Chain A
Amino acid sequence: MPFRQREPLLWLTVVLLAVTGFWWAGRSREPRPAPGRTVISWYVIISPLRDLYTAEVAAFEKLHPGIEVHIFWVPGTEYNVKLKTLAAAHQLPDLFFSGDVWLSYLLPFSRDLTPLVRRDAAEFGLDDYFPAIRRAMQLDGKDYILPEYLNLSLLYFNRRMFAAAGVPEPTAEWTWDDLVRAGQALTHDGRDGSPPVWGSSRVEGWWGEWLIYVRQAGGKAFSPDGRRCLLDSPAAIAGLRFYLEKSSRYHFSAPAGFEPLNGFVNQRVAMIVGGHVNYWLNYNQTPGLDWDVQLLPAGPGSRSGGELAIAGYSISRESRHPEEAWALAKFLTRPEAIASIVARGSLSVRRSVAEAALRQPGPRANPHNLAAAYRQFEFGEPIPHHPNYVEIMFLVVQPEIDRMLLGELSPAAAGRRAAAAANAFMDTFGSATP
């Protein structure tokens, strides 16, 4: 065959190959739903609760034969990146994890759940949520999250270490002074060659602990209108100073950078100020760790200031099946489901489940003083609802706090520099009502 005749054939082959390749690469690999069934997608953070969620979905599908749930497991560290990438591609899942810390950030693609919440309030028991949780569910009076679990800052302590040192266990009346006294009595600095044991851990690298002291000293991270960072106020600086002096003056926390790895679990740290409810499961799985909780010690300005954060479910603004996704969200947050999570070691967002847990603590040993944990609700404060909160705190503020801990800056200088940098950021990227 002469080339002139072959030429169109060759071009056709190339084009066909290219089209086939693109089709093959881009074709959907999703299994097709059974006829008459609606498929909804749910992106879940990989956690020790995986088996529980799998069982919940199976139970949900049994109850709703017309709905098929596709679960996608995503590592926690990648979750928000994954979500926003999917949002950019207009491929958001119908249901996804959200929380008040991320709510402002996730707002552009979160559905306003207010009409659904109002419509079904009696059915799913809106009144069953603690008032503090109910407040955290909303932004500007609108509902965006159906809560499943929460984090609450508490004072964690190792009962065995307290008993061994002959130090009375923390009480609800403790102040910072009591914390310092007990912390010092529990500290062994390791000068004899043994590994050092510290009265209290110090959470470094994020706001988990220092923001508690700032608030308890009477300070705030942001002004009420969210337009200014207030870490340069005298009260905030006093809070930062206490955070620093736990090691530099009172010597009951490890110097910066020398915090023992998993110190509380390894029983080289006797107390944690703040902590995280997520770790209860790990604590209860650690042999020989007899731990308990108490209200946070009161600061000079207030007892309030510990974090109260919620996490739960939001529905995508682009979801084509919001009713089905809403049904799944309600199912996952019904009292029985919350009770299953609480039984693994957690606090309840629902009053009915909390009351049941207090009446009958269940098989887990700790914490003994569960009542104190629920009482701390009164003193918990939400994270400011600022769309750039996480970014400002990590990228702009935290490096100055790190430098303070390392002795490069005084608390006053760290507060001033952090506030100035945060305000410059907000002047550029805009501010929002927290």
Chain B
Amino acid sequence: MTHRRAQSLWFWMFAGPAVAGFAAFSLWPMLESLWLSFCQYEVVTPPRFIGLQNYAYLFAHDASFWPSVKVTLVFTVIQLPLAVGAALALALLLNQPVRGRGFWRAVYFLPSILPQAVFAVVFGYIFQADGGLLNRLLALGGLHGAAWTTSPTWALPVLIGISLWGFGYPMVIFLGGLQNVPRELYEAAHIDGAGAWARFRHVTLPLISPVIFFNVVMGVIGALKVFDLAYAFSVAQAQPAPGGPARATLFYGLNLYQQAFGYFHMGLASAMAWLLFVCILLITAVNFRVGRRWVHYGD
């Protein structure tokens, strides 16, 4: 046996199980779902090929498809800048040489180790219209609180607010980026007369732009796939059908889950999944394209 063949064998010995697992449990189900997206498949009967009808139904007739697209896009557009901005602001604060810095970093990271579902339940009670903590506090001040969780106007903003508690992970990544910025550059900028804002704008931001880019890309993907938060919120609000009131919190992921596991329209749900996949792929590609203009890798 040649050395090259031996190397190849060793490679497959180690990589084989992982590749086999990926092929069996990721790649094959993905390809299967692509096929199912062209079928009518209600689980208990064999799939029946119907061409593009699932896609046509989603675009032209489904009463919940476009509302769920809208909810998800609104969430992404509003939540992403807030989440990235909050994480960056906190990382900047926690990068300052203050006493007990490690302690504060741990404190601010702490909420992120809790599942989003916990936030959805706890904040669901805080924002309860009748008897919720927030409205009781407002009543003490003579104010009449809104139906935060049960009004279509407020339910999504409340969910956006709740989701911001997951700032810990991007914050830690920002901290890592900030600690890699060479101090000499700040000193040089300082000597040149740059103020705090100018140092941030012209030193910090360009040097952490790869980290910002990473957080934005991951944030977009995460926001487009929101599910657990919305599902737990619906459960906490004892909504008979998730996504209420009046589809105000019917995220795309939640709608997809409902179609797949609530009503077993697996063909339709597969079509939705592939549309989401293509959408995320396109948005990520655009992000990378646009990123070339503002991300500096220092080479």
Contact = CB atoms under 8 A, between A and B. Distances in A.
Contact of A88 (B1, B20, B44): B44
B108 interface: no
A24 interface: no
Interface stretch (B115-123, B162-170, B260-268, B277-285): B260-268
A35 to B, nearest CB: 34
A406 B43 contact: no
B297 interface: no
Contacts of B57: 428
B151 A257 contact: yes
Most interface-central of B61, B139, B150, B235 (chain A CB within 10 A):
B150
Nearest to B135: A258
Most interface-central of B16, B45, B64, B129 (chain A CB within 10 A):
B129
Contacts of B63: 395-396, 399, 421, 424-425
A257 B9 contact: no
Contacts of A88: 43-44
A193 B135 CA distance: 12
Nearest to A206: B240
A135 B1 CA distance: 78
A261 B262 contact: no
Interface in A391-434: 391, 394-396, 398-399, 402-403, 406, 408, 421, 424-425, 427-428
A395 B139 contact: no
B247 A399 contact: yes
Contacts of B16: 14
Interface in B17-59: 17, 20, 43-45, 57
Contacts of A141: none
B131 interface: yes
Contact of A109 (B44, B130, B235, B261): B44
B244 interface: yes
Nearest to A418: B63
Q: How large is the interface on B (under 10, 10 to 19, 20 to 34, 35 or more residues)?
A: 35 or more
13 contacts: A3-B6, A4-B1, A18-B17, A88-B43, A108-B45, A205-B240, A257-B129, A257-B150, A257-B151, A408-B152, A408-B246, A421-B63, A424-B61
B218 interface: no
A84 B246 CA distance: 27
B152 A261 contact: no
Interface of A: 3-4, 7, 10, 14, 18, 77, 81, 84-85, 87-88, 108-109, 193, 195-196, 204-206, 254-261, 388, 391, 394-396, 398-399, 402-403, 406, 408, 421, 424-425, 427-428
A95 to B, nearest CB: 18
B130 A205 contact: no
Nearest to B9: A7
Interface of B: 1, 6, 9, 13, 16-17, 20, 43-45, 57, 61, 63-64, 67, 128-131, 139, 147, 149-152, 235, 238-241, 244-247, 258, 261-264
A258 B239 contact: no
Contacts of B152: 402-403, 406, 408
A255 B145 CA distance: 13
Contacts of B9: 7, 10
Nearest to B260: A81
Given A4-B1, A261-B130, A425-B61, A403 B150 contact: no
A109 B264 CA distance: 14
B265 to A, nearest CB: 8
A84 B131 contact: no
A108 B235 CA distance: 29
Most interface-central of B20, B129, B246 (chain A CB within 10 A):
B246
Nearest to A403: B246
Contact of B130 (A7, A204, A259): A259
Contacts of B17: 18
A188 B122 CA distance: 29
Contacts of B241: 205-206, 394-395, 398
A261 B150 CA distance: 12
Given A260-B130, A391-B263, 19 more contacts: A3-B6, A84-B44, A109-B44, A254-B130, A255-B147, A256-B151, A257-B245, A258-B129, A258-B147, A261-B130, A261-B131, A391-B262, A395-B241, A396-B63, A398-B240, A398-B244, A402-B246, A408-B152, A427-B61
